Structure 1
C-alpha cells in the first residue's frame, strides 16, 4: 500500500457475490497486513451457524437479510464514527 493511499472506513460485502464471494473477499482483506484492521460487514440471506462462525472467526459483523436499514446504520456508524475520530486525532 502506498503511504498516501486513503483506506475506506468500512467495507460492506454480500456473502453471495458472483465470481469472488463475500467470504473469499473477506479472507483476502483480513490476510493483507495493510488491510487486516479494516472493519467488514457481511450480508447474508441465511442466519446459518456456518455464516455466524465465519463472522466470529474473521472478527467481522454479520447482518442478515432482509435488510433492516436501521440495523445496518447502527453497525456502520460505530465504525465510521471511529474512523473519523481517528482521522481527526492523527492530524
Structure 2
C-alpha cells in the first residue's frame, strides 16, 4: 500500500465531503478513533479496518496505528475541552 493515503482508501462521496474524521489517537494502545458522518460509512470503515491501519502505518512509517475505534455517526464536536476542572478566577471589578 506504499504511497496511498487514507483519502485514497476512503474517498469522499461525490458532493458530500469526507466520510469520516479522525477524532483522537491513543499512542499507548495505538488506537485511532474515527467518527463517520452516517451509519453506512461506519459499516464501510469496519469492513476496511485492515486497509486503513496499513495505510495509516505506511503514511507515518511505523506501527503507530494498531486498532480502530469506530465512534457513533454524527457531527464532530470541535469545542475544545476546558483547561482545568477549576472554575476560572474571578476578576475584581474596577471602580469607575
With structure 1 as the length reference, what TM-score do the two structures score? 0.26
More helix by share: 1
With structure 2 as the length reference, what TM-score do the two structures score? 0.25
